[in-house]
Structure 1
Amino acid sequence: MAERTIVKSGIEDVGQGPAVFAELLQAFAAAVVANDGGGLGQMFTPDGIYEDGFFGPHAGREAIAAMLQRFHDTGGDYRWEFFDAVGGGAIGYARFRFSYVSRLPESPGRPVAFEGISVFYLRDGLIARYAEIFDRGLALVQLDFPAERIERVLRKAAAAQNAHPELAPHLDRFRNGGPPG
C-alpha cells in the first residue's frame, strides 16, 4: 500500500492565511511519509528542532534528516493526516491521525495508529520548532511491548516533561507537605 498524507479543510486564519499553513502541513507530512530527510530539513530553520514523541528532540537539519531515516528504519507504510488546523504567523496547531506498520524486530508487521496534536513554531517562513503530543502508551501497547518496557518509556517521558521549567510552579506546590488546605 502506498504511503499517503492528507490535510483536511477547517483551517482558521490567524496570521499569514490558512493556505500558507495548509501548504506547510501538506509538505511536512509528505516529506515524512516519503522519507525525504533533506526536504524535511529544509522546512526548518538551520537551528530548528524536531521534537519527536518517540525519538526525542533533534536540532539542526542534518539531525532531523537522520531522525527521519531512523523513523523509516523502524516502520513503514506511513500515513499522516492533519485536520482541525489553526495557524499562520508565528505558531500553528493541527490535530493529526498517524499510522504505520512496525519494522522493529520484536514487533514486525504490527500496525500502529494514534491521534495527537502537532505544534509548529514558525520563524521567517520556516519551522523553528516542531513538537507533538500523543498518548505514547496507546502507541506502544499496539506494538505488544511488555508492560515493563512501556512503563520505562512512560516514566522517562514523564521525567522529561516534569523537568521543563514551566512546570515548576505546578509541581513545587506539592513539595514540602503539599498544597495548603
Structure 2
Amino acid sequence: MTTATDPATATATEALLTRFAAAVEANDAAALAACFTPDGIYDDYFFGPEQGPDGIAHILAGFYKGGRDFRWQFHDVLAGPGRACARYRFSYRSTAPEAAGTRVCFDGIAWLDLSPDGLIRRYSEVFDRGMALAQQNFAPERIARIGRRYAEALKARAEWVGHL
C-alpha cells in the first residue's frame, strides 16, 4: 500500500515535527504533549509506549535521566491523510557512567498517525538500538541481554504470530 504525499499535509507535519524536536531539546514536556492529541501515544523505541501528557512526560524524563544536550532533526517528510513518516538524525551526550560523556548519534524513521486537526495520535519509530548502546561502551553481554529482551517483546506481539 502506498500513501501519496500531500504538500499541505507534509508542510504542516514538518512544522509539527519541528515543534516536537524543539520540545525534546528544551526538556519541555508540556510543549511535547501539545504535539499530541490528549490521548496520544508516544511509542519510544527504547522506553516503549506511553499515553497522554503524563506518559509523554515520563518518556521525556527518561531521556534526561540518561542524557543531555539533545539534538533532533527530522527530514524527508512524507505525508498524506492521517499518516506521515519522516527520517531523522538524533544525538545526545550520554550520562551513563560507562559512556564518560560520549556523544551518541543515530538515524531513524518515525511513523505518525495523525488526527484530522494534524496532531499526533500515535508516534512510533525504528532505529538501530545496538548501535546506540555500543556507542556508550556498554559491555557486549549487556548489549546482548538488552537485545534479547527487545526481541522477546517483539515476538510476543500478536501481529508476529504468523512469522513464528
Provide the TM-score with structure 2 as the length reference. 0.90
Q: How many angstroms apart in 2 are the aligned matches of 1:17 and 1:74?
A: 34
Give me the identity figure in percent. Answer: 47
Alignment pair present for 1:117 and 2:109: yes
Deviating runs (4+, > 6 A) in structure 1?
A: none
Letter in 1 for 2:159: E
Unmatched 5+ stretches in structure 1: 1-11, 172-181
Look up the match of 2:31.
39
Kindly tell me the number of residue pairs found equivalent between the two proteins.
160
Aligned residue in 1 for 2:40: 48
Look up the equivalent residue of 1:30 and give its one-letter code.
A
Shift in Å at residue 15 of structure 1? Answer: 7.2
Residue in structure 2 matched with residue 130 of structure 1 by the alignment: 123
Contact 1:85 1:94 in 2 (8 A): yes
Q: How is 1:91-106 mapped onto 2 (pairs within 5 angstroms)?
A: 91-106=83-98
Q: How far apart, CA to CA, are the structure 1 residues paired with 2:41 and 2:13?
A: 18
Shift in Å at residue 140 of structure 1?
A: 0.3
Q: Please identify which structure carries the higher helix content.
A: 2
Q: Counterpart of 1:17 in 2: which secondary structure?
A: helix
1: distance between equivalents of 2:158 and 2:94? 35
List runs of 5+ in structure 2 lacking aligned partners: none
CA distance in 1, matches of 2:72, 2:132: 14
Which structure has the larger Rg?
1
Contact 1:47/1:128, CA 8 A, preserved across alignment: yes
CA distance in 2, matches of 1:91, 1:15: 13
Q: Is the 8 A contact 2:99 2:135 kept in 1?
A: no
Query: Could you tell me which residue of structure 2 aligns to residue 7 of structure 1?
Result: none
Aligned-partner SS, 2:88: strand
